[in-house]
Structure 1
């Protein structure tokens, strides 16, 4: 056993016991500071959904509103794509951001140094999840304000729709964060992290109703997308932000919010199990 490994438990034993909440808040503040300082991260996981929604509204909005079928009120391009962009923001904030950050920190030895301090894995992840929660909320609020004020999207006015939005957001971003932790163990180095994580996130966005309207995808691809959480996150957001008549465009002709809740809950558990089983301060064999 190495000296560092032998010393780490004794350091933890001597460290004063602090509440997990206090440690998590302090660590979250540190994580937020690091996040703000990284300009490329700020754009690709924070402002990217806003940029894409504006781009789609300009590029595809010139041909007029979207009218998918009889009995369905026409909607602007921005209104149609807003639910998918909200789901995409959750995926980028939790899944992509954490997978990249933790993989880089492990590769550069930061996690190994954390392992030799009184900071426990619980405190470390409380900070990470706190950072994801704060940035996710701000990003979502910014996206809604941009859609409502600049793109003139009519946002919901009833409490039921906002309640649906709230629980889908909480389940979705928590699931994304845990799956991001699990995926962070896959890249072999900091250099390979982007090549591993970003394509996975990008493919999921294309097949899950983010960059393409879900009802226009072939049925077999919709079935494939149903195996992954982003499809259910986007479906839940569509239920909150699109008219009820648009439910006819879903696979079973309804929003199926019970199915959304079950699918996200299952993936939440899967993510927690995988994150717990795969996380290490250092890569095995390092």
Structure 2
């Protein structure tokens, strides 16, 4: 087995191990908190009909929450992990071994994917008891949902790596990812049909993957009548693929260059300065 293949194998193993470790950490507490908040929203929306769609507002919201959660986690998770690993020396150690950065990135991808899956299940499984959106979706709908969620994750994950590479601390990484993302979520029609918003806000929302991941999840799970609550009254699958594709391609073009540049600048003295700064924040 060549060294690069070995690095990939070790990266997968590391990602699985770190995910298992995270199951007992505060990360899952965050997943439980956000999942409970989402389920509370669904509870209050379960009897609110949407004009023309023939469904409750909760039925429109649940698929949108799944798409939003995947995109949100794919951006914020890698950004926070990468900035923490710069601070604790993990990246410096990865840089020192052959193909260490390849293994590191594979590990981050595996852990982020598994963490996102847990967050997805926390919302989806109880949500099915509140909103039976999968009853008529069939196998095709489930496969379509999985494809949309995978596409949404891939479109954002390299941008999370970029954010973690250009920030100097975990706090700043969260600041440049979580806060803007919350603003984008608010205008992306996740909790209420986007057609109820001003036209210019609809245009802004359609630039970002959050709207399209939620839109694609609704297209996969809901009947055609639900498209009445969408922009243009239809499921715009080609447009969704185009926007998510652009974010994916541009992200994967930029991320490797920025990561390599960041890795070249890593040194023991820089890591020690960040570690001391982190200790000062804790005191």
Q: Same fold (TM over 0.5)?
A: yes
What TM-score do the two structures reach when normalised by structure 1? 0.82
Q: In the alignment, what sits opposite 2:11?
A: 24
Over 3 Å counting, the alpha-carbon distance change for 1:48 and 1:266 in structure 2 is farther
The SS at the match of 2:49 is: coil
Residues 1:67 and 2:50 aligned together: yes
**1:130 counterpart (83, 103, 110):** 110
CA distance in 1, matches of 2:221, 2:137: 10
Residues 1:55 and 2:40 aligned together: yes
CA distance in 1, matches of 2:82, 2:121: 26
Structure 2 unaligned residues grouped into runs of 5+: 271-283
Q: CA deviation at 1:284?
A: 7.0
CA distance in 2, matches of 1:16, 1:73: 56
Q: In the alignment, what sits opposite 1:260?
A: 240
CA distance in 2, matches of 1:252, 1:133: 33
CA distance in 2, matches of 1:99, 1:148: 31
The 8 Å contact of residues 71 and 209 in structure 2, kept in 1 or not, is answered as no
What TM-score do the two structures reach when normalised by structure 2? 0.83
Higher fraction of helix = 2
Residues 1:281 and 2:267 aligned together: no
The 8 Å contact of residues 87 and 237 in structure 1, kept in 2 or not, is answered as yes
Over 3 Å counting, the alpha-carbon distance change for 1:80 and 1:219 in structure 2 is same
Structure 1 unaligned residues grouped into runs of 5+: 1-14
The SS at the match of 1:252 is: helix
Residues 1:43 and 2:26 aligned together: no
What pairs with 1:56-95 in structure 2 (closer than 5 Å)?
56-61=41-46, 64-69=47-52, 72-75=53-56, 77-95=57-75
CA distance in 2, matches of 1:238, 1:154: 9
CA distance in 2, matches of 1:221, 1:38: 38
Over 3 Å counting, the alpha-carbon distance change for 1:188 and 1:111 in structure 2 is same
Calculate the aligned-residue CA RMSD, in Å: 2.4
The SS at the match of 1:32 is: helix
CA distance in 2, matches of 1:53, 1:255: 24
Q: CA deviation at 1:267?
A: 0.9
CA distance in 1, matches of 2:59, 2:264: 45
CA distance in 1, matches of 2:190, 2:4: 45
